[in-house]
């Protein structure tokens, strides 16, 4: 029996879909309505900063009207109740994991809507208003603020911390992501290479479903709370008597000889 302690959860736009935030690649999604090259690249910002800033101002305003859903709350329950480490690596730039109650172990690899990045002083002040009027940076007064969001062609944030967490993971879970964007899409491979069990929770089969030990299809607001209940039930059961260590044991995996989820 292997002890299952460290969980890494990768989330994507699908976990926030039921909160009313558009995903990127679904029909009617954000990238169907806007060309990536027009709004989400450093070149676009040089070419037409007003267009880019207006796009992100609208997105920043919109997310502040949305609320976390049952999937966000469930992950917070897991983080609070699981005896091992829980790291949530999110591709999302909304703040619904925070408002759902994930207090620590949260990594925004694609940045955050509610921060601005000052390219003069490298500060990242909290930002809830607009940037279109080119306000001064509250830290250095330069007028050099841009959205603190990773654009195509830029390097995602915190990759060292993400790789360290994935390398230490016993269980890697992907929720609501199409697997279309690297390096996030490749994390499951890294986890597998280290012997982690892998689980995908998504509305439909993703581009990477074949890479997971198990895929469960359905809405995040249903699948995630059910999976968290399973995990916390298992932790409670094992804490209350069958093992003396503080981790959670798992049975032999059906696939690839790894622990069952």
Which strand (E) or helix (H) includes residue 72?
helix 70-81
Q: Using CB under 6 A, which of 17, 44, 137, 231 touches ligand OAD?
A: 17
Binders of ligand OAD among residues 172 to 201 (CB under 6 A) are 176-178, 180-181
**CA-based nearest residue to 200, from 20, 12, 16:** 12
β-bridge pairing 2-4 and 248-250: antiparallel
Q: Using CB under 6 A, which of 150, 187, 235, 261 touches ligand OAD?
A: 150
Residues 99-138: x/- map of binding to ligand OAD (CB under 6 A)?
-----------x----------------------------
Binders of ligand OAD among residues 23 to 42 (CB under 6 A) are 23-26, 29, 40
Residues 48-87: x/- map of binding to ligand OAD (CB under 6 A)?
----------------------------------------
Strand order in the sheet with 86-90: 106-108, 86-90, 7-11, 171-175, 197-202, 214-217
**Of 97, 110, 113, 158, catalytic:** 110
Burial of 160 (0-12, 13-18, 19+ CB in 10 A): exposed
Tokens of 34: 């806007």
Residue nearest to ligand OAD (CB): 14
108: annotated active-site residue: no
Cα 43 from Cα 50, distance rounded (Å): 13
Q: Does 94 contact ligand OAD by CB under 6 A?
A: no
Cis peptide before 183 (omega within 30 of 0): yes
Residues annotated as catalytic are 110
Q: Which residues bind ligand OAD (CB under 6 A)?
A: 12-14, 17-18, 23-26, 29, 40, 91, 110, 150, 176-178, 180-181, 202-204, 206, 219-220
């Amino acid at each position: 029996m292997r002890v299952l302690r460290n969980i890494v959860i990768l989330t994507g736009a699908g976990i926030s879909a039921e909160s009313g935030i558009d995903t990127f690649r679904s029909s009617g999604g954000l990238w169907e309505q806007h060309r990536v090259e027009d709004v989400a690249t450093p070149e676009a910002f040089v070419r037409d900063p007003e267009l880019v800033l207006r796009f992100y101002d609208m997105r920043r305003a919109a997310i502040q009207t949305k609320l976390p859903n049952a999937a966000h709350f469930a992950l917070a329950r897991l983080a609070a109740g699981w005896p091992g480490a829980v790291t949530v690596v999110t591709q999302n730039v909304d703040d619904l994991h925070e408002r759902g109650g994930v207090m620590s172990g949260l990594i925004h690899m694609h940045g955050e809507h509610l921060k601005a990045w000052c390219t003069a002083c490298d500060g990242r002040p909290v930002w809830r208003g607009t940037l279109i009027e080119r306000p001064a940076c509250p830290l250095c007064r330069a007028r050099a603020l841009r959205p603190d969001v990773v654009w195509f062609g830029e390097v995602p944030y915190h990759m060292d911390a993400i790789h360290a967490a994935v390398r230490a993971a016993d269980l890697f879970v992907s929720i609501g992501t199409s697997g279309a964007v690297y390096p996030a899409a490749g994390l499951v491979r890294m986890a597998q290479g280290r012997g982690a069990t892998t689980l995908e929770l998504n509305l439909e089969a993703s581009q990477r479903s074949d890479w997971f030990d198990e895929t469960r299809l359905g809405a995040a607001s249903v699948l995630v709370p059910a999976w968290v209940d399973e995990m916390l039930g298992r932790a409670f059961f094992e804490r209350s008597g069958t093992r003396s260590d503080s981790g959670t044991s798992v049975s032999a995996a059906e696939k690839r000889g790894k622990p069952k989820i």
